[in-house]
Chains A and B, each alone.
Chain A
Amino acid sequence: AQSVTQLDSHVSVSEGTPVLLRCNYSSSYSPSLFWYVQHPNKGLQLLLKYTSAATLVKGINGFEAEFKKSETSFHLTKPSAHMSDAAEYFCVVIPSGSARQLTFGSGTQLTVLP
């Protein structure tokens, strides 16, 4: 069985400071891992994905995430927050070749303060 835990339901940062959104997972099989972002009243958009290639993954809008198998983590970071980054972020795990076991984390709401 697999699961995803987003360790913070809310994160607040000041504009221009670093962002860290934490995600831990458990999976019986080599997983694919994703981060999606959801702006208010919108659908979800892919930020980045890890599919067993490079462990440091770069995504859109300056975000990146590092897959650490030993820590079963896939934390999302950005060096400098922008007001437009305010949104909800979801970590997703998919065991290899198993669409029906796709699992979303419960989400982290990011607030960016001026």
Chain B
Amino acid sequence: DAGITQSPRYKITETGRQVTLMCHQTWSHSYMFWYRQDLGHGLRLIYYSAAADITDKGEVPDGYVVSRSKTENFPLTLESATRSQTSVYFCASSHQGSEDTQYFGPGTRLTVL
């Protein structure tokens, strides 16, 4: 009964490396979301997905890639990490869309050196 999990919880990487953050939910929710949280900015939407194989950009998608081959998984990939991508990343899911209650994972703290 894990709900929504993220892995890893902490990650340190170097500029230019590819990094994948994982998100898994056990509720079979249709919608999934990726956010980044930075001081002074609240949370900003990176990408979201309305269903398997359907994804769309949010406010800050540049430098990120997502996929959703299975309903329960929504990985976020930084193809070539930059220092500006140092942040805390939150995954969320909801049953019926962004206007429905979103359930958040515990977050991944990513540091890019």
Contacts and interface: CB of A to CB of B under 8 A. Distances in A.
B101 A99 contact: no
A107 B42 contact: yes
A44 B42 CA distance: 11
A43 B42 contact: no
Given A99-B31, A99-B97, A102-B98, A43 B43 contact: no
Closest 7 CB pairs of A and B: A43-B104, A99-B98, A104-B42, A104-B43, A44-B104, A32-B99, A106-B42
Interface stretch (B14-22, B44-52, B63-71, B78-86): B44-52
Interface string B6-44: 000000000000000000000000010001000011111
Contact of A43 (B45, B56, B107): B107
Given A99-B48, A99-B50, A99-B97, A90 B42 contact: yes
B101 A49 contact: yes
A80 interface: no
A79 to B, nearest CB: 24
Given A104-B35, A104-B43, 8 more contacts: A44-B102, A46-B101, A94-B98, A96-B99, A98-B98, A99-B48, A100-B48, A100-B59
A45 interface: yes
Contacts, number: 54
Interface string A101-114: 01111110000000
A51 interface: yes
A108 B98 CA distance: 22
Contacts of B48: 99-100
B10 to A, nearest CB: 11
25 contacts: A36-B104, A42-B106, A43-B90, A43-B92, A43-B104, A43-B105, A43-B106, A44-B43, A44-B104, A46-B102, A49-B101, A94-B98, A98-B98, A99-B48, A99-B56, A99-B99, A100-B59, A102-B58, A102-B98, A103-B59, A104-B42, A104-B44, A105-B42, A106-B40, A107-B42
A32 B35 CA distance: 19
